[in-house]
């Protein structure tokens, strides 16, 4: 039985899809005006794991994650660079997709863009206007009348008297109440023509919140089984989505609301507004130019970052620090060492009657407890090493695959360089060819019974961060520490 923590009820609930066997899931995606940072990585990976597990459990999942490609920040970036908005958003969409590929994040089933659904947004605004929930102010903006929607505040737990306007949009003189938020923004003379659409309310563009109400309804209808996003979206974005969607169409917008936890840098949330962010590409690929959208990630560092995220429960607060990345690198390397030392046997699917698979399933069914599932992987690796069991090694790889981990060739993975070393350690510049040459010299020294020279070569390689492991038959495997 799958239980999911709902941000709306603030409890773990037994998951009962609206239509048996099918899941309609909508997750708020990126506003594409800059590169994705590690906080975005956490959201992308967390909901990737969630949709993977739902599919593993046999559900037919329709997963939608939108792209916001019209926004004040996008307009500013286009003006700053003297570029068309479409060129700015196309570049950062390509960059986002490169990040997803590197992190082994599967593409959503649908990836709608806000600019493709402006007509749907205007349709919802008209419904809200007809119901007395929207009005056009003197400044031309169309606003949502928050106090006219009785359920406002139920997701965030905030009362109307506690709320303040101005989360993303400055309070304007056209609002009847400072709590009201913008549904349609009247065009300004100095804004690019491509940011303006014709509407019954004059030239303008949609507000941020109405986008997701329109896209989720157009592709999935109502109610959704799961609506998710990052921790900062609960208020005001998701609260406003509820007001818009339920105000326009009636009923419940979503059965389960899910929010992943924040990624912290010391005591502050990682965010672009605070300037304390690190991009995904900076973390998993060296020397990627800012004018380069696509890139090839270091596979070892990319898997480290995914593992760094997955080893924590998605709702927990997670702290970014270089030493934490080093620790994650060392941990995932140990699992790969098991696969390298004990090649997995051929396997047709997962035997869910296995005690390890049962524990893994129980953890994942407990609100997608990936921390518990990862603990099972380490227990499994320990037993596989103890028993020299190819069957347990195969089970380790298969269960890891559900989390999007452990699918690289182990030898190739372990020989890849990594920048994430113990504090004070220096990265080695020794090449694969040089390593192989020294191993050959060591082998010859052993043949000549010059064991002192063989040991000296081992220590020389160890000083360069290269660990050797002698196998039966005179074979020597190596990996980068």
Q: Give me the CATH number covering residue 122.
A: 3.40.50.620
Position 167 scores a pLDDT of 43
Known binding residue 80? Answer is no
Q: pTM for the complete prediction?
A: 0.92
445 lies in some domain: yes
255 and 119 both lie in a single domain: yes
Regarding whether 467 and 359 lie in a shared domain, the answer is: no
Are residue 407 and residue 463 in the same domain, yes or no?
A: no
Domain count, the chain: 3
Q: What is the mean pLDDT of residues 175-193?
A: 94
pLDDT in tens, 102-151: 999 999 999 999 999 999 999 999 999 999 999 999 999 999 999 999 99
272 is in an annotated binding site: yes
89 and 226 assigned to the same domain: yes
Instruction: Give the whole-angstrom CA distance, residue 155 versus residue 228.
Output: 12
CB contact set of 92 (below 8 Å; sequence gap of 6+): 30, 32, 33, 34, 35, 293
Same domain, 236 and 110: yes
pLDDT band for position 268 (cuts 50, 70, 90): confident
The reply to whether 328 falls in a domain is yes
**Which of the residue ranges 2-11, 64-73, 108-117, 280-289 would you say has the lowest mean pLDDT?**
280-289
Residues 36 and 116 in one domain: yes
Same domain for 401 and 470? no
Mean pLDDT confidence for 295-315? 96
Domain end, chosen from 414, 440, 472, is at 414
**Statement to judge: residues 396 and 311 lie in one domain:** yes
Q: Are residues 360 and 450 in the same domain?
A: no
Q: Are residues 96 and 238 in the same domain?
A: yes
Mean pLDDT over residues 439-463, rounded?
Answer: 85
Q: Where among 384, 414, 444 does a domain terminate? A: 414
What pLDDT score was predicted for residue 165? 43
Answer yes or no: are the C-beta atoms of 184 and 207 closer than 8 Å: yes
Q: Has residue 66 got a pLDDT over 80?
A: yes
CATH number at residue 334: 1.20.120.640
Q: Is residue 34 part of a domain?
A: yes
Residue 437: the pLDDT is 87
Domain of 456, in residue numbers:
432-480
Does 163 fall in a domain? no
Question: Is residue 237 a known part of a binding site?
Answer: yes
Q: Quick check: is 172 in a domain? A: no
Alpha-carbon span 157 to 7, nearest angstrom: 10
Residue 90, pLDDT above cutoff 50: yes
**Alpha-carbon radius of gyration of the chain:** 26
- Is the pLDDT at 172 greater than 60? The verdict is no
Contacts of 84 (CB under 8 A, 6+ apart): 78, 192, 194
User: Is residue 99 domain-resident?
Assistant: yes
Query: Same structural domain for residues 240 and 132?
Result: yes
DSSP bridge pairs for 134: 144
Mean pLDDT of 403-426: 88
Q: What is the mean pLDDT of residues 65-93?
A: 96
Q: What is the pLDDT of residues 210-231, one digit of tens each?
A: 999 999 999 999 999 999 999 9
238 with 357, same domain? no
- Flag whether 400 is in a domain: yes
The answer to the question of residue 197 being in a domain is no
Please report which confidence band the pLDDT of residue 279 belongs to, taking 50, 70 and 90 as the band edges. very high
Q: For residue 50, give the nearest of 402, 408, 306 by alpha carbon.
A: 402
């Amino acid at each position: 039985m799958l239980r999911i923590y709902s941000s709306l009820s603030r409890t773990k609930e037994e998951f009962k899809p609206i239509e048996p066997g099918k899941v309609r899931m909508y997750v708020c995606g990126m506003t594409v005006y800059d590169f994705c940072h590690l906080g975005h990585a956490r959201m992308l990976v967390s909901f990737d794991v969630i949709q993977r597990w739902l599919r593993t459990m046999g559900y037919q999942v329709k997963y939608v994650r939108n792209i916001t490609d019209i926004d004040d920040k996008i307009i500013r970036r286009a003006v700053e660079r003297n570029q068309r908005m479409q060129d700015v958003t196309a570049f950062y969409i390509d960059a986002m997709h490169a990040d997803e590929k590197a992190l082994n994040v599967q593409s959503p089933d649908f990836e709608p863009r806000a600019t493709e659904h402006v007509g749907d947004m205007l349709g919802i605004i008209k419904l809200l206007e007809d119901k007395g929930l929207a009005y056009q102010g003197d400044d031309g903006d169309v606003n949502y009348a928050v106090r006219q929607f009785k359920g406002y505040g139920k997701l965030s737990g905030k009362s109307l008297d506690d709320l303040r306007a101005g989360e993303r949009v400055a309070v304007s003189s056209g609002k009847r109440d400072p709590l009201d938020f913008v549904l349609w923004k009247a065009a300004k003379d100095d804004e690019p023509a491509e940011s303006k659409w014709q509407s019954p309310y004059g030239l303008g563009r949609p507000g941020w919140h109405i986008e997701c109400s329109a896209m989720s309804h157009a592709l999935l209808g109502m109610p959704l089984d799961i609506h998710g996003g990052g921790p900062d979206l609960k208020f005001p974005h998701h609260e406003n989505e509820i007001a818009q969607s339920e105000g326009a169409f009636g009923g419940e917008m979503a059965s389960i609301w899910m929010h992943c936890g924040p990624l912290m840098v010391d005591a502050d949330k990682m965010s672009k507004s605070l300037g304390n962010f690190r991009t995904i590409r900076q973390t998993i690929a060296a020397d990627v130019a800012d004018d380069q959208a696509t890139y090839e990630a270091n596979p070892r560092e990319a898997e480290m970052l995914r593992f760094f995220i997955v080893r924590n429960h998605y709702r927990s607060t997670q702290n970014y620090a270089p030493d934490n990345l080093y620790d994650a690198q060392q941990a995932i390397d140990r699992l790969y060492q098991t696969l390298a030392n004990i090649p997995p046997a051929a396997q047709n699917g997962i035997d869910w009657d296995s005690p390890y698979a049962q524990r893994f399933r129980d953890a994942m069914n407990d609100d997608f407890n990936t921390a518990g599932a990862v603990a099972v992987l380490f227990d499994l690796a320990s037993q596989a090493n103890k028993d020299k069991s190819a069957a347990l090694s195969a089970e380790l790889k298969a269960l890891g695959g559900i989390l999007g981990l452990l699918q690289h060739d182990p030898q190739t993975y372990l020989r890849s360089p990594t920048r994430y070393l113990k504090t004070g350690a220096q990265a080695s510049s020794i090449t694969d060819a040089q390593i192989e040459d020294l191993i050959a010299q060591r082998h010859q020294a052993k043949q000549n019974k010059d064991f002192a020279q063989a040991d000296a070569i081992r220590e020389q390689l160890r000083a360069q961060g290269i660990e050797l492991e002698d196998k039966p038959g005179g074979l020597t495997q190596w990996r980068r520490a």
